[in-house]
Every structure is written in structure tokens, then in C-alpha cells.
Amino acid sequence: DQQVKQNSPSLSVQEGRISILNCDYTNSMFDYFLWYKKYPAEGPTFLISISSIKDKNEDGRFTVFLNKSAKHLSLHIVPSQPGDSAVYFCAAISNSGNTPLVFGKGTRLSVIA
Amino acid sequence: GAGVSQSPSNKVTEKGKDVELRCDPISGHTALYWYRQSLGQGLEFLIYFQGNSAPDKSGLPSDRFSAERTGGSVSTLTIQRTQQEDSAVYLCASSSSLNQPQHFGDGTRLSIL
């Protein structure tokens, strides 16, 4: 039973355009969400997060949007750059719980020059 | 650097042998996690340690898998009587507390022949 779902295993975007990566969750207790980026042969690195008290968090080219009623979040990268090509993992946690982050299966983003 | 360090980076062994994977977390981080990523799959949670509490072993796939964390710092993940399906990248992460972003090591790529 996947509590965090990334339904698109891969995405290709032209350099300079917007990349939109989607994530859905089922557990209504989740109240903190994170995105991680992973290059081949490296561990995932933390990218950006959002608390459930917000619906948007922006950091440079990266913006995360949260729609609590739809249990949906998305990561927008604009403009996309070839160096953004990586696997992106969505993760969620309940701050009031006692369990670690739950990760999605990841979306492989390819930014084409 | 002061990141999470894992060793070895690569391990090739014969089916049926035991293997030990090591993780040095970031100094001062009380939470330590083990994940594995099989080919084409997402991050599969295995086990986590939080301070002096009993570890959450709910993700361990079989009783051939065990982990310990000595002195609240270094952790070893042991796989006994390895099987070919154990082949994966084993990732370790640490965080300052359970609900803070996790910092990952670069993983150990385990190949069972």
C-alpha cells in the first residue's frame, strides 16, 4: 500500500522550459513534505520542503505547491537546466507521529539541451 | 567533509555469504536510517534508529537482515546467507531528529553472484 505515489516514472523537458513533477499521498496525517534529488551513484540530496500550513514554498528556480484537499503536491523547476536531470523523490512525514519519512518511487527528469 | 559516510562503496560476493555494510552518520545526528534501492525501484525503508530507543525494524525484508548502532553513532547492516534478490544499493541517512530532512550517504552497491 503506497502512501506516497509518483505516478510518472519519467519526464522529458526542453532546456529553459518548466518541469512539473507530481506527487500524491493518501495518509491525511502527513503534514510535512520534502523533495529529494538523486544523481546516479550518489545518495539523494534534500532539495526543498513544505509544511502543511503553507500552500507554496519557493527557493530560487524551485517551487513546491501543496494542495491539501487533493492530497497532492508538485515541484516546479523553471527554467529547467540540463544539470537538473536526475531522479526526484517526493517524501512525506507526520510530525506528530513516530515514523520516518515515506518516499515515493521517484520520477526521472531528463532536461534536453 | 562532514557528511554521511558509507563503506564499502561497492561489494561483490557469492550467494550464501554474509556481508556487513557500514554507515558513519553526521556527528550529533540522533536519527539513523537504512534504505535500499533495487534496480528501477524507489527507496525501500529498512530500519531506523532514534536516540536510545529500540530501533524500528518494520521494514526489514527477512530475518537474514539485522542492524545495530553502537554508541549512538556508527551503524552496521548485516545480511546473512545472501541471496541474489539482495542485490541493490543500500543507502544510509541521518538526521538531527526524526522529522528533520535526512542527509544521505552515497550508498553501497551490493552485487550477489
- Per-residue pLDDT for B1 more than 70? no
**pLDDT tops 80 at residue A22:** yes
Q: Above 90 in pLDDT, residue B97? A: no
Binary contact (B4, A43; C-beta < 8 A):
yes
Residue A30 has pLDDT above 60, yes or no: yes
Q: Which of A25, A27, A11, A29 is nearest to A76 (CA)?
A: A11
Task: Provide the residue type at B12 as one letter.
Answer: V
Question: Which DSSP string corresponds to B61-78?
Answer: -STTEEEEEGGGS-EEEE
| pLDDT score for A25 | 97
- For position B20, what pLDDT does the model report? 98
Lookup: cell for A72:
497532492
Q: pLDDT by residue (tens digit) across A64-112?
A: 999 999 999 999 999 999 999 999 999 998 877 677 788 999 999 999 9
Q: pLDDT for B9-54, tens place per residue?
A: 999 999 999 999 999 999 999 999 999 998 877 888 899 998 888 8
Share of chain A above pLDDT 70, in %: 97
Q: Which residues of B touch A93 (CB under 8 A)?
A: 98-99
> What pLDDT score was predicted for residue A12?
97
Average pLDDT along chain A: 94
Q: What is the pLDDT of residues B42-83, one digit of tens each?
A: 888 899 998 888 888 888 999 999 999 988 799 999 999 999
N residues, chain B: 113
Annotate A19-84 with three-state secondary structure: EEEEEEECCCCCCEEEEEEECCCCCCEEEEEEECCCCEEEECCEEEEEECCCCEEEEEECCCCHHH
pLDDT of residue A95: 76
Q: What is the pLDDT of residue B54?
A: 83
Cβ proximity of B4 and B75 under 8 Å = no
Which chain B residues are closer than 8 Å to A45 by Cβ? 104
Taking CA atoms, A79 is separated from A8, A64, A111, in Å, by 20, 14, 10
Higher pLDDT residue, B106 or B53?
B106
For residue B75, the distance in angstroms to the closest alpha carbon of chain A comes to 17
* Cis bond before residue B8 (omega within 30° of 0): yes
Residue-level pLDDT at A65:
98
Cβ atoms A94, A78 nearer than 8 A: no
Query: What is the per-residue pLDDT for A45?
Result: 94
Nearest to A104 among B35, B42, B45 (CB): B42
